Amino acid sequence: MAEAQRASEFDLIDRIRRRVLVRDDVLLGIGDDAAVLQVPTGRCLVVAADTLNAGVHFPEDTAPADIGWKALAVNLSDLAAMGAEPAWCTLSLSLPASDERWLDGFLDGFLELAHAHRVALVGGDTTRGPLSISVTVHGFVAPGRALRRDAARVGDDVWVSGTLGDAAAALAQWREGVARDAFLRARLDRPTPRIALGRALADVAHACIDVSDGLLADLAHVCRASGVGARIELDRLPWSDALRTAFDGDARHAMQAGGGDDYELCFTASTELRDEVERAARDAATPVARIGRIVEGEAPCAVRVDGSAWQPERTGFEHFT
């Protein structure tokens, strides 16, 4: 019986195939050498790829369903930051051993989020190796409508969605070994890709990026790509009640300005379109906050916070440093 319980690679694939969403534009899905897909006439294809590794991108004791959710969420967040409509994904899963219970849990989280955004899993592979999840997501955008990093203009408002610093706070509680607040933990484990907001902003915003490395680090990417600077007011950064209860003063500010993994959208828009931005936010049921302005570039410290130059080295998550 032990042998029968050990699922083969093909059983794993069948296990996945039985649970995926059906879409008319998937002409051939899981089970062949490749998927065959139909991009709608007159739309551009948007593609992003992100990997999560155990111990690097999530604590080893993270629940499989949360790992599944997050692996897709960080990718959908990239589509959100482009203003794109999600459609399909592929999943490359490296597992130390075949484990049906782990896989079922992983799929619970992955497919819950996929179904919520009508994303079909169309292919990928399962391999033996240290736990690692590589996802590639595909979506659509109207020609010329993608929200790029290089489109910020001097005079634009800088906006951010949701609240900042929650994921960093959850990670700090985990590192300190103190009781983890459930809200903060959910923000770390189950980030919300801001798909509806991104799509609503496609006709309103100039530049956009998702906050994965930390607000200031990500805003610095926008400034560098656009050849501009930014001035941010620290007290305008949005916080959750849970963050305010758990951390205050400098610790809280550092998490809001520098903590990664929030997957909110940071975007710029003309000051004349403040009403339109707020309408887009209402339509997407996603709060937004105006946190600063785009100014002339001031290299090498493009982003200034409360008038002081911000050192890119100080905060923001970057691999290999």
Pairing of strands 208-210, 265-269: antiparallel
The CB-of-168 to a second copy minimum distance in angstroms stands at 18
44 binds a second copy (CB under 8 A): yes
Strand partners, 313: none
Q: Which of 17, 115, 118, 128 is the binder for a second copy (CB under 8 A)?
A: 128
Give 243: exposed, middle or buried? Use CB within 10 Å, 0-12, 13-18, 19+: buried
Query: Interface residues for a second copy in 64-93 (CB under 8 A)?
Result: 78-79, 81-82, 84, 88, 90-92
Q: Rounded distance, CA 161 to CA 267, Å?
A: 9
270 binds a second copy (CB under 8 A): no
> Could you tell me which stretch among 7-15, 161-169, 173-181, 273-281 binds a second copy (CB under 8 A)?
7-15
Q: Report the residue number, 308 or 321, with the smaller CB distance to a second copy.
A: 321
Alpha helices by DSSP H, 177-321: 182-189, 195-201, 215-226, 241-246, 249-258, 274-283
Dihedral-angle region of residue 92 (phi above 0 means left; psi in -120 to 50 means alpha; beta otherwise): beta
Q: Which of 10, 118, 203, 282 is the binder for a second copy (CB under 8 A)?
A: 10
The CB-of-75 to a second copy minimum distance in angstroms stands at 9
261 binds a second copy (CB under 8 A): no
264 binds a second copy (CB under 8 A): no
Q: Rounded distance, CA 163 to CA 300, Å?
A: 28
Query: Interface residues for a second copy in 11-40 (CB under 8 A)?
Result: 12, 27-28, 31-39
Six-digit token pair at 137?
Answer: 């997501």
Q: Report the residue number, 49 or 178, with the smaller CB distance to a second copy.
A: 49
Q: Rounded distance, CA 174 to CA 96, Å?
A: 25
Q: Rounded distance, CA 9 to CA 160, Å?
A: 43
> In the stretch 163-202, what mask flags binding to a second copy with x, by CB under 8 A?
----------------------------------------
Q: Which of 16, 20, 50, 71 is the binder for a second copy (CB under 8 A)?
A: 50
132 binds a second copy (CB under 8 A): yes
